[in-house]
Structure 1
């Protein structure tokens, strides 16, 4: 996958022809079997979990899908390249990259509603109690809209390809991929409610997925395409010196957290890995995946999308 991070279908497909590890699909977690939750999906990308169900976007198929009790249910169709996805207690939210919209639908189904339209390359999405937040990669903006309705507002402008976003304690954190083609001036940003955007760290190589807990922000640097120079990083919520948790990653893409660990997908070498938040001992959990991308962790499973295989897969923790 090319990572100017302007994720149109042609760019995604252009990256599917090699450079990924081949060989047996294996788990290294005590021999735990790899379970396929859903097959024959059309380019599944991002993944979200509410602890009891999974939700994902089928980028080329134009679908938003839920897996409840192991059975896949299509919630929305005819979406124009759906990409990012988020969930709260009542609804599922997603972005349509080419359609330029932010959408939502009740978890029980129904008719999709438009939260925002006329956006330029909406990709990452996150929700908190009151707002829906998203990044506009093409426009270089970060925006939000109240769940109660109303017009969207830009909370950050002039960003260098904003990508993934997370909200914790009313504070938005996001990654900026950087300026194409080099993508060596990427950054991680912070914006408190009512404040101005603040740079937490700069000079990163194509930062991508992001997550946060009560103490720190975690993100992955995808690195140069195929270069094996990706990394998993953390920094205190208020900033300071970043910490490298794992180095030498090939295509680090998305990440998720539990109480003690950070999990991430390596798109280019076909692995799902884990490292303690304290930074000791990165380990590969799964090998031989065909372009792993989105990731979710719940109390019992680690689940990921494999977009070239067209599958949603998981292992027990």
Structure 2
């Protein structure tokens, strides 16, 4: 029997530690998609937009064949769900659309918008960001669109909680307004080109085009920079333990770090323009825009 030297033991320990940090096993749920952009789930299906192909798609969470729910859309981007309808923003023809989950033909919620990008449902309203103008909303049932903000701030992604809609702006501000209406407020002033948002019970988190991950308390306070030097991070999401985001282009990665702070690590490598991160039931889902795939990995 041979006894390991101290140096060999340390080398073996290093190998074990390295092996525990390899990316999680991934499952490609759908391939051959044309510019998939955003993901949502109702607990039974995954839904996503194909920005290049002008489609809205769905797939059972358990797996199966992707099904086209709408076609002929023009650069569909952000997507959201209510209990009865699917909503999305068509940047290419300046519309916000909705479609019954049971099926049918899509109809416009609003037309003549200024580069609509993201969409969310909360408090009986549909909210969307007009990337060349301001934040907007319209009643879920029917009714005219109205401005949430009176300032042109080039909003991008938005999130909602029980009381407010929050959005990121190209000038680096994070703003919010009550769901039921009222004055907006600037919650934080961070780096320029804020690109995506996520919420937990105490903080709002965001990414910036220039590579930082930041947060601020929902109760107000100073901006905390959690990470820097990331490769154009976007599509941030948060669970009880970690922050996740997409980074990079055709050689992109899914990255993560402890929610409380620490050193970022690669969760999944060799992705093709990852985006659209979704957390659901112990798994992380995302789309690869250039690779045309929808992917799942255990958290």
TM over 0.5: yes
2:228 corresponds to which of 275, 287, 290: 287
1:221 equivalenced with 2:175 (yes/no): no
1:209 corresponds to which of 154, 157, 181: 157
Say whether the 8 Å CA contact 2:190–2:223 is kept in structure 1: no
Distance 1:237 1:274 in 2: 22
Deviation at 1:37, TM superposition (A): 7.7
Q: Could you say which residue in structure 2 is the equivalent of 1:302?
A: 243
Distance 1:71 1:143 in 2: 36
Q: Please give the secondary structure, in 2, of the residue aligned with 1:204.
A: coil
Distance 2:256 2:125 in 1: 31
Q: Following superposition of structure 1 onto structure 2, how do residues 138-287 of structure 1 map, counting pairs within 5 Å?
A: 138-178=92-132, 186-193=133-140, 194-222=142-170, 229-268=171-210, 270-287=211-228
Q: Please give the secondary structure, in 2, of the residue aligned with 1:71.
A: coil
In the alignment of these two chains, the number of paired residues is: 238
The alignment's C-alpha RMSD in Å is 1.6
Q: Could you say which residue in structure 1 is the equivalent of 2:284?
A: none
Deviation at 1:248, TM superposition (A): 4.1
Say whether the 8 Å CA contact 1:256–1:264 is kept in structure 2: yes
Distance 2:121 2:58 in 1: 18
Q: Could you say which residue in structure 2 is the equivalent of 1:47?
A: none
Distance 1:36 1:220 in 2: 32
Structure 1: tracts of 5 or more residues without a match: 1-34, 39-69, 179-185, 223-228
**Closer, same or farther in 2 for the Cα pair 1:204/1:37, shift >3 Å?**
farther
Say whether the 8 Å CA contact 2:127–2:137 is kept in structure 1: yes
TM-score by length of 2: 0.76
Distance 2:153 2:103 in 1: 37
**Closer, same or farther in 2 for the Cα pair 1:299/1:151, shift >3 Å?**
same
**Closer, same or farther in 2 for the Cα pair 1:260/1:248, shift >3 Å?**
closer
TM-score by length of 1: 0.72
Say whether the 8 Å CA contact 1:36–1:313 is kept in structure 2: no
Say whether the 8 Å CA contact 2:189–2:223 is kept in structure 1: no
